């Protein structure tokens, strides 16, 4: 006999589990189906973000940053340590423990909010009683019915044609987070977010990292002042980054991976490495969903087709997160999850795509919100720009972390903040002020006139805002 709910959410990543919790808060009977299995075959709620993405990568970035600081930067603080050792097994176990805390946290939230959880793959069976029938299989075996379904099945790593991930030698984000021994030579294809974050982790732990990027420009999505600074810093740190690289044949054998590639001048090159991370983007995950059973429409790129409000072509079927258009960011999925739950409850809500922040957790961190200077120019928008370096900030000097700057872009006429771009310490935290300012449609003068604590990195944000009108105080 099927179990009946007001809402069934398929997928327990950030978009899905947040949609389920919000719908339950609004008084609906909610089920969430998620198939992720931990090493013991049990459930591991939280999707890619929690299990093989945001959370474990941040754990390893933190551990590897400590290791690098202990090896290279403690001495300048007058701290002497004896010989430095790396217990990679322990580092990876800590990362796994952080993941488990997050898995358990979501399971706890489901209990607290009375969301019924089903462990297994969710797939559409057909239409039923003015709603939908959804099967749960492996390991659970159940049939659920609900008037509304929210699909939040996420994304999977895109493989190079003919080079499947074996997660031993050819690694996606998943395998790149669990390499048992530090590889001597690590190859990375794609200098996007995952390539840079994973490349940074393994370089800090001692690998020689070579990154091959197809595009001639580095970090094309970022403001090019930020991208230029990042390329300079990452190269100085030891990442070998080749832009305009055309990857050819890839040979994988027990000894490692050999990549034939052409450099930007068309010269044949070869990259021999012990492991290869392929981070060339992700694709929507609709495999096994059986959307065809109910006529769920995909777009030409394989994403579930949705309108601005995450409605699919089917009545009462919604889709959120990586499986629909827009940036593949956990927090974008969460916003959509909340918005859909509230729309189902008859409320009115809005996701502002213009104020979704981007963060790359390298060192220095990179974060931005709103259009880049290049995008404003291309759109013909009249703007003013102001930048301020961390080098001129007391807190950054005390931290010993003075790389980078904050850059403001504001409307030339009314001074409204259009975009904020940061490369520097704690950029991931500093960007929040810019997001709030843009949501409230603040001007750069507003930020320049707000009292910021001294000494703090946030003073760099204030000074960059003042710099828009050429009135920075400390530079
Ligand atoms: P990405 O889209 O960030 O970068 C992929 C890079 O690979 C691009 O620079 C692209 O030009 C390059 N590329 C594509 N095909 C290539 C080829 N054949 N040869 C050489 N280079 C090639 O994708 P990535 O890093 O795989 O990340 C996937 C998604 O995960 C992103 O959309 C990102 O938003 C998300 N993510 C976000 C994180 C964060 O917010 N900090 C962390 C990790 C991932």
Q: What is the pLDDT of residues 426-470, one digit of tens each?
A: 999 999 999 999 999 999 999 999 999 999 999 999 999 999 999
Q: How far is CA 49 from CA 102, 163, 259, 329, 366, in A?
A: 10, 24, 29, 9, 19
Distance CA 131, CA 147 (A): 4
2: confidence class by pLDDT, cuts 50, 70, 90:
confident
Active site residue 73: no
Whose CA is closest to atom 35 on ligand 1?
328
Q: Where in the chain is the domain with CATH 3.50.50.60?
A: 3-157+283-351, 170-280
CA of 29 to the centre of ligand 1 (A): 37
Whose CA is closest to atom 15 on ligand 1?
280
Q: What mean pLDDT is reported for the chain? A: 97
Pocket test residue of 161, 193, 199, 217 for ligand 1, highest count of atoms within 8 A of CB: 193
Homologous superfamily of 170-280 in CATH?
A: FAD/NAD(P)-binding domain (3.50.50.60)
pTM of the complete model beyond 0.85: yes
pLDDT at 1 over 80: no
- Would you give the distance in Å from CA 111 to the centre of its chain? 27
pLDDT at 197 over 80: yes
Contact between 30 and 116 under an 8 Å Cβ cutoff? The reply is yes
Contact between 76 and 196 under an 8 Å Cβ cutoff? The reply is no
CA-angle at 285, arms to 163 and 247, nearest 5°: 25
Q: Which helix (H) or strand (E) holds 342?
A: helix 330-344
For residue 219, give the ligand 1 atom closest to its CA: 9
Task: Taking residues 318-346, report their average pLDDT.
Answer: 98
Q: In the chain, pLDDT over 90 holds for what percent of residues?
A: 98
pLDDT at 129 over 90: no
Task: Taking residues 47-72, report their average pLDDT.
Answer: 98
Whose CA is closest to atom 4 on ligand 1?
192
Pocket test residue of 280, 333, 429 for ligand 1, highest count of atoms within 8 A of CB: 280
Residue 404 has what pLDDT? 98
Residue 254 has what pLDDT? 86
Task: Taking residues 308-327, report their average pLDDT.
Answer: 98
**If we measure between CA atoms, which residue out of 204, 212, 235, 200 comes closest to residue 362?**
200
Strand stretches in 190-286, DSSP E: 208-212, 240-242, 246-253, 256-262, 268-273, 275-278, 282-284
Whose CA is closest to atom 36 on ligand 1?
193
73: confidence class by pLDDT, cuts 50, 70, 90:
very high
Residues near ligand 1 with C-beta < 6 Å? 189-195, 197, 212-215, 247, 279-282, 327-329, 359-361
Whose CA is closest to atom 12 on ligand 1?
190
CA of 243 to the centre of ligand 1 (A): 14
Q: Where in the chain is the domain with CATH 3.30.390.30?
A: 355-467
CATH class of 3-157+283-351: alpha beta
Strand order across the beta sheet in which 365-369 lies: 358-360, 365-369, 417-424, 405-411, 383-389
For residue 192, give the ligand 1 atom closest to its CA: 4
Homologous superfamily of 355-467 in CATH?
A: FAD/NAD-linked reductase, C-terminal dimerisation domain (3.30.390.30)
For residue 193, give the ligand 1 atom closest to its CA: 25
CA of 281 to the centre of ligand 1 (A): 4
336: confidence class by pLDDT, cuts 50, 70, 90:
very high
For residue 194, give the ligand 1 atom closest to its CA: 25
- Per-residue pLDDT reduced to its tens digit, 93-128: 999 999 999 999 999 999 999 999 999 999 999 998
- Per-residue pLDDT reduced to its tens digit, 13-49: 999 999 999 999 999 999 999 999 999 999 999 999 9
65: confidence class by pLDDT, cuts 50, 70, 90:
very high
Q: In the chain, pLDDT over 70 holds for what percent of residues?
A: 100
Number of C-alpha atoms within 13 angstroms, CB side, residue 382? 4
């Amino acid at each position: 006999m099927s179990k009946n709910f007001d809402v069934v959410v398929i997928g327990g990543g950030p978009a899905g589990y947040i949609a389920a919790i919000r719908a339950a808060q609004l008084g609906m009977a909610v089920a969430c189906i998620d198939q992720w299995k931990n090493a013991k075959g049990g459930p591991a709620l939280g999707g890619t973000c929690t299990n093989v993405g945001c959370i474990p990568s941040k754990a390893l970035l933190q551990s590897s940053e400590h290791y690098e600081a202990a090896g290279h930067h403690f001495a300048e603080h007058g701290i002497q340590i004896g010989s430095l050792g790396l217990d990679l097994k322990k580092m990876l176990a800590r990362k796994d423990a952080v993941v488990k805390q997050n898995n358990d946290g979501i399971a706890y939230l489901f209990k607290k909010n009375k969301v019924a959880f089903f462990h297994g793959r969710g797939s559409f069976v057909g239409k039923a009683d003015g709603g939908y029938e959804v099967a749960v299989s492996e390991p659970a075996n159940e049939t659920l019915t609900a008037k509304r379904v929210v699909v939040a099945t996420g994304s999977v790593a895109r493989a190079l044609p003919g080079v499947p991930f074996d997660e031993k030698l050819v690694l996606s984000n998943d395998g790149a987070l669990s390499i048992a021994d530090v590889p001597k030579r690590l190859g990375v294809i794609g200098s996007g977010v995952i390539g840079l974050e994973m490349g940074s982790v393994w370089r800090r732990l001692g690998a020689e990292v070579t990154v091959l990027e197809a595009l001639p420009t580095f970090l094309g999505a970022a403001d090019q002042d930020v991208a230029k600074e990042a390329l300079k810093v990452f190269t100085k740190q030891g990442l070998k980054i080749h832009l305009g690289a055309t990857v050819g044949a890839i040979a994988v054998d027990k000894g490692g991976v050999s990549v034939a590639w052409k450099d930007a001048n068309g010269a044949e090159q070869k990259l021999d490495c012990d492991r290869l991370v392929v981070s060339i983007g992700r694709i929507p995950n609709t495999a096994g969903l059986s959307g065809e059973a109910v006529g769920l429409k995909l777009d030409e790129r394989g994403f579930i087709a949705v309108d601005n409000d995450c409605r699919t072509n089917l009545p009462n079927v919604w889709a959120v997160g990586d499986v629909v258009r827009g940036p593949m960011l956990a927090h974008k999925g969460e916003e959509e999850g909340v918005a859909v739950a509230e729309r189902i409850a008859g409320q009115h809500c809005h996701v502002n795509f213009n104020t979704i922040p981007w963060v790359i957790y390298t060192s220095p961190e990179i974060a931005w919100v709103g259009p880049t200077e290049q995008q404003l120019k291309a759109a013909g928008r009249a703007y003013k720009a102001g930048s301020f370096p961390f080098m001129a900030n007391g807190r950054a000097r005390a931290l010993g972390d003075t790389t980078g700057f904050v850059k403001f872009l504001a409307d030339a006429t009314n001074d409204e903040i259009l975009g904020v771009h940061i490369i520097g310490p704690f950029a991931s935290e500093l960007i929040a002020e810019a997001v709030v300012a843009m949501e409230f449609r603040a001007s750069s003068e507003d930020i320049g006139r707000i009292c910021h604590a001294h000494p703090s990195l946030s003073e760099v944000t204030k000074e960059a805002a003042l710099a828009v009108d050429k009135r920075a105080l400390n530079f």
